[in-house]
């Protein structure tokens, strides 16, 4: 089998790891690895959400924030708005 590990290979790898780290340190190492994986997954999820939020903000149409001619306040003097001042 090319590219795949047989059960004998896995057993040999586990034996070497056990000899290198010892039986007492393996649970702590596995716990630390699991915690690191959870943190990594949470950060990548947050990053993906942030990118999706930015994409949604970029796709929304821009709304004019200043007053427009239709919503401009009416003049306070008694003359029409298009009449020049004397």
Give the pLDDT confidence of 42-60 residue by residue, as tens digits.
999 999 999 999 888 877 7
15, 21 contact by CB (below 8 A): no
**Is residue 12 pLDDT above 90, yes or no?**
yes
Our CA dihedral for 18, 24, 25, 28, rounded to 10 degrees, sits at 120
**Is residue 81 pLDDT above 90, yes or no?**
no
d(CA 5, CA 12): 11
Q: Which of 40 and 30 is assigned the larger pLDDT?
A: 40
Report residue 33's pLDDT band, with 50, 70 and 90 as the boundaries.
Answer: very high
């Amino acid at each position: 089998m090319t590219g795949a590990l047989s059960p004998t290979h896995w057993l040999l790898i586990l034996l070497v790891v056990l000899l290198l780290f010892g039986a007492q340190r393996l649970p702590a190492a596995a716990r630390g690895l699991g915690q690191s994986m959870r943190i990594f997954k949470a950060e990548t999820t947050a990053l993906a959400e942030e990118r999706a939020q930015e994409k949604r903000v970029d796709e929304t149409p821009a709304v004019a924030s200043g007053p427009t001619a239709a919503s401009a306040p009416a003049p306070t003097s008694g003359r029409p708005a298009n009449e020049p001042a004397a």
